[in-house]
Amino acid sequence: MGKMSVKTINFSGYKWIVKKRNRPYGPGPNYFSDSDSNVWLDSQGKLHLKIKKIRNKWYCAEIYLKKPLGYGKYTFCVDNSVEKIDKNVILGLFVYLNLKNEIDIEFSKWGKNNNANAQFAVQPFIQKGNLKRFNVDKKISHTINSFLWQKNSIFFGSFKGNNKKAIASWIYKGRNILKENKVKARMNLWLLNGEKPSDFNEVEVVISQFSFNKADSKIKQ
């Protein structure tokens, strides 16, 4: 048998593979669709990720780069109010090799109404000092989210999109900093433990831009 064909999209100057899984698969576990109704670019070139119900199953969305970029500054611009994301839904902006080699910016309440809705994490997140939780106000409708990944440190920042005022920042210098290796940038929208959205409504987020800069030495505030 030949190789299964994979769908790709060109977003923000990079080629991304669109994940497809018709059986439960991580994270979650969940189903993932590469349909144009789950992952697509609009007329302005913005990326849309959507959790959609198809024939009684909820399909999630994920894309990942074809090639690793290595150390540098990764920036993800989100055009949604993250406070409005359902409590059972996670928006992940990250680089990943495996469950123990991962750098995350995640927006979710992790199934609890009163949880903060955002976090910076270095896996394994259960390791003391590897997680910083924070809250993005419901009035903020656009955020710029970055991490500067270097050999001995990771500098995280989340900023208001209209004036670039800092919402939260964190410097990580712990023992779980990833080596460059084959780590690839990813973006996904998925369901906690494969559960349905708590309000049973489909969920959509818009990422207006992704950028990478190997030369940056700091995140501007």
CATH of the domain at 48: 2.60.120.200
DSSP single-letter state for residue 43: T
Domain assignment of residue 176, yes or no: yes
Domain assignment of residue 218, yes or no: no
Task: Say what the pTM is.
Answer: 0.94
Structure confidence by residue, pLDDT tens digits, 119-165: 999 999 999 999 999 999 999 999 999 999 999 999 999 999 988 89
**pLDDT for position 221:** 36
**pLDDT for position 2:** 46
pLDDT band at 181 (very low <50, low <70, confident <90, very high): confident
The range of the structural domain enclosing residue 54 comes to 7-213
Domain assignment of residue 21, yes or no: yes
**pLDDT for position 5:** 79
More confident residue, 180 or 3: 180
How far is C-alpha 188 from the geometric centre of its chain's CA atoms?
5
Domain assignment of residue 220, yes or no: no
Q: Please tell me the total count of domains within the chain.
A: 1
C-alpha–C-alpha distance, residues 109 and 85, integer Å: 8
**Single-letter residue type at 6:** V
Domain assignment of residue 142, yes or no: yes
Domain assignment of residue 221, yes or no: no
Domain assignment of residue 1, yes or no: no
C-alpha–C-alpha distance, residues 33 and 31, integer Å: 7
Provide the percentage of residues in the chain whose pLDDT is more than 70.
95
CB 109 within 8 A of CB 138: no
Start-end of H helices in 113-190 = none
Please, which residues have CB within 8 angstroms of residue 95's CB and are 6 or more apart in sequence?
Answer: 74, 102, 103, 149, 178, 183, 184, 185, 186
Domain assignment of residue 191, yes or no: yes
C-alpha–C-alpha distance, residues 68 and 180, integer Å: 8
**pLDDT for position 21:** 95
